[in-house]
Chain A
Amino acid sequence: MALSKEQIAQRIAREVRDGYYVNLGIGIPTLVANFVRDDIEVEFQSENGVLGMGPFPFEGEEDPDLINAGKQTITALKGASFFDSAMSFSMIRGQHVDLTILGAMEVAQNGDIANWKIPGKMVKGMGGAMDLVASADNIIVAMMHTNKAGQSKLLKECSLPLTGVNCVKKIVTNLAVLAIENNSFRLLERAPGVSVEDIKTATEGDLIVEGDIPEMTF
């Protein structure tokens, strides 16, 4: 069975280590916060200006002056801080943020990522994504392996306008965990019940498969 969006988030949460400052993108990445082990200390950064972001507020306790990068109302945890946008991107560009998790429309086997624009169709903008991918050392992409038409989103080359070049290190899809290595996708783990053949079929880019590929457990 392919992973649900929650399971993709759950698998990515295992990459989060004690003491990490983490920036979560919109969509599946936001769900990662729900699955981080509670015996480790992690702080979430939202690029609109908060470090130490907490869960959504209880009804009636929402504050228009306290939102995340998706413009959702949030809370601030003990030890949180607020800051301006320039300082927020000093944290990001200055590589003080340990892990960046974001979504993608396409990833190429050289680590290029496209997630901000479909020419003539979807024009929303890049927000902080270009700053994040250009500077972060540790980027994990959360995405579906194929689009709705069944076409691969893990490509030899991105067809959409790029967000960043040679920057993605790891990808967690509904079918697999993969690393970018030697201009290829290296298969690391399979979703439960998904075969190596299934993943090969769903991957347009070059796929390295070596030895036994373990199945993820939940």
Chain B
Amino acid sequence: MITKTVANVQEACKGVADGMTFMLGGFGLSGIPENCIAQLVALNVKGVTCISNNAGVDDFGLGLLLQQRQIKKMISSYVGENAEFERQMLSGELEVELIPQGTLAQRCRAAQSGIPAFYTPAGYGTEVAEGKESREFNGKMHILEHAFKADFGFIKAWKGDTAGNLIFRGTARNFNPNMCGAANITVAEVEELVPAGELDPNDIHIPGIFVQRIFQGEKYEKRIENLTVRKRD
């Protein structure tokens, strides 16, 4: 059996360097690789490009990298919850490429699947389509989008085993499965790491072949961005 386990987050992030491109799973603050983000902050790598649906909030998630001016470029679909992000973007310190959410997911999936490019109708006729090839299929216009290229992918899963197999939970799944195997090195952090053989193969969402390094995160804050509850009658 092939083992993917590394001892800790330091080992998991070995090899990250200035100027690299990272993919990070998560939607809002749900399902973000908290431990890897903390390590990227500690390593203080600079000039990085981050592919992530959102940019965290001011004091959590990718917002922590923004605070230290580590990010050169963000590729995201929605960045509305982060004042520091908006400030850096409007002042021109931060380069930002906003792309449709489904296109972002599919560009990850294409990289994972060895598909260099694909056509999608999303963004046709908008500024997203500027400079891109367009083509009509079945009477409808589409634009050509390319697979991402990234050095590291940072994934958060609920459970994993030493063979790198992953199981996600709830809507913390989001972009995480699509980013597995989409970068040169996929690092998965999990809340619970078990020996291979303990997870039922029927339950695996992502097979270990897409994961190079796996470790159990030391702790998880799992912060809620927008707590909304209803009253009991």
Measured CB to CB, the residues of A under 8 A from B are 46-50, 55-68, 70-74, 76, 82-86, 88-89, 92-93, 112, 117, 120, 123-131, 134-135, 161-166
Contact = CB atoms under 8 A, between A and B. Distances in A.
Contacts, number: 187
A206 to B, nearest CB: 21
A contacts with B: majority SS = loop
B195 interface: no
B231 interface: yes
Contacts of A92: 102
B186 interface: no
B78 A62 contact: no
Interface of B: 27-31, 53, 76-81, 86, 89-90, 96, 98-106, 108-109, 120-128, 158, 168-178, 205, 222-232
Contact of B122 (A66, A120, A131): A131
Contact of A64 (B30, B76, B106): B30
A86 B179 CA distance: 10
A128 B102 contact: yes
A50 B171 CA distance: 7
B127 A73 contact: no
Q: Select the residue from A63, A124, A131, A163 with max chain B CB neighbours within 10 A.
A: A131
Given A134-B123, A163-B126, A123 B105 contact: no
Contact of B105 (A60, A82, A84, A161): A84
A63 B128 CA distance: 35
Nearest to B89: A123
6 contacts: A62-B229, A70-B226, A82-B169, A84-B176, A85-B105, A129-B100
A84 B125 CA distance: 27
B27 A128 contact: no
